[in-house]
Amino acid sequence: MPSAIEVRKVPIHSVADASELAKLIDEGVMEASRVIAIIGKTEGNGGVNDYTRIIADRAFREVLVEKGAPADQVKQVPIVWSGGTDGVISPHATIFATTDVADDDPSRAEQRLTVGFAMSERLLPEEIGRTPMISKVAAAVKVAMERAGITDPADVHYVQTKTPLLTIHTIRDAKSRGETVWTEHTHESMDLSNGTTALGIAVALGEIEMPTDGDVMHDRSLFSSVASCSSGVELDQAQVVVVGNATGVGGRYRIGHSVMDDALDADGIWAAIKDAGLELPERPHTSDLDGRLVNVFLKCEASQDGQVRGRRNAMLDDSDVHWHRQIKACVGGVTAAVTGDPAVFVSVSAAHQGPDGGGPVAAIVDLG
């Protein structure tokens, strides 16, 4: 049986800052050697060349080592950074660590937060956007589920991944071996990698049947309601973190999920919080959260029809500011209005993650 989980959200005060992680360890909230995953937002451009992700990664791993975790172990900790804090979104990190719960703790009889991690087989550049990538991601998700102690896919509420995108170097590598790539536009490959990964998650959880190469990025009716996929230049495998609930692990926390049907769907965010176990009035207000919401995790996407609730917008036609940044700022504002806290995990590029123009929402709450 996996261990119970302690989870905390901390602010990031500058690009290379991990002082709040150090403070948690110094105060005994968690041990450095028991940190098992970190998911956060950095303040870069969110694009292919967003190196704030690499800077933050180094800063957090260095703190873990300084505080006593073995260096070899720290190298294996999945740290997923989503770049770009457009609008009011504030840089932050959500840190997961194992903790001890007494055998007779009553929380063990109820579903509580559990986390599992896995790495896929190596993903070749020619596989990005195609079924071999879907299959490799699906296999890794199943391993992560097993490690989390989850047997029922319905108990999976959030799957955070990091996968490689295409760069000039990897495109050249594929061509040198006589292979083709789905796209030679590196920025487009971010959407592609995320979308293909989401299809792999959906297959693993039984949300859809195995799609074809032709479905990727084209059939938006195929999606996962729990996938949150990011991509970057930092790795050549799928890094998979499965977060769900299981009976027997115990602890204070529980996770739930829902979907936003469009960029303004605040009710979708409230639905995820309620699904996690908080009792809320029919028309809740931020004050009803009473400090019990740890964080929310969302993906967002500009609707392919260029509209929100029947009204036209210009995001997809804007040549000055990419739609990635515009929709992220929009959904970040909607989310912060619900939570009352701008430190929310809102990530863009949500192809095959939730319905077109919307996206999945996961919420972790503290049940005490």
**Cα 73 vs. chain centroid, distance in angstroms?**
22
| Helices 52-66, 19-26: inter-axial angle, 10-degree rounding | 20
The tokens for 105 are 């703790």
Tell me whether residue 145 is exposed, middle or buried, using C-beta atoms within 10 angstroms of its C-beta: 0 to 12, 13 to 18, 19 or more.
Answer: buried
53 DSSP 8-state letter: H
Tokens of 172: 């050249």
CA distances from 149 to 43, 122, 202 (A): 34, 25, 19
CA distance 16 to 59: 6
- Structure tokens given for 368: 């005490």
Contact 368, 279 (CB under 8 A): no
Verify whether residue 274 is a known catalytic residue: no
3-state secondary structure at position 36: strand
Distance, first Cα to last Cα, the chain: 21
Q: How far apart are CA 168 and CA 193, in angstroms?
A: 15
The rounded Cα 356 to chain-centroid distance in angstroms is 18
Query: Which two three-digit tokens encode residue 155?
Result: 């108990």
Residues facing 83 on adjacent strands: 42
Query: What residue type is assigned to position 287 of the chain?
Result: S
Residue with structure tokens 């180094």? 58
Of the residues 82, 189, 193, 230, only one is catalytic, namely 230
Residue 253 tokens, joined: 């926390």
Catalytic residue among 41, 142, 162, 328: 162
Token couple for 45:
């451009």
Q: Using CA atoms, how far apart are residues 149 and 69, in angstroms rounded to an integer? A: 24
Q: 65: exposed, middle or buried (C-beta count within 10 Å: 0-12, 13-18, 19+)?
A: middle
Contact indicator for 215, 199 with CB cutoff of 8 Å: yes
Please count the residues of the chain. Answer: 368
Does the annotation count 162 as an active-site position? yes
Give the residue numbers annotated as catalytic, written as ranges: 162, 230
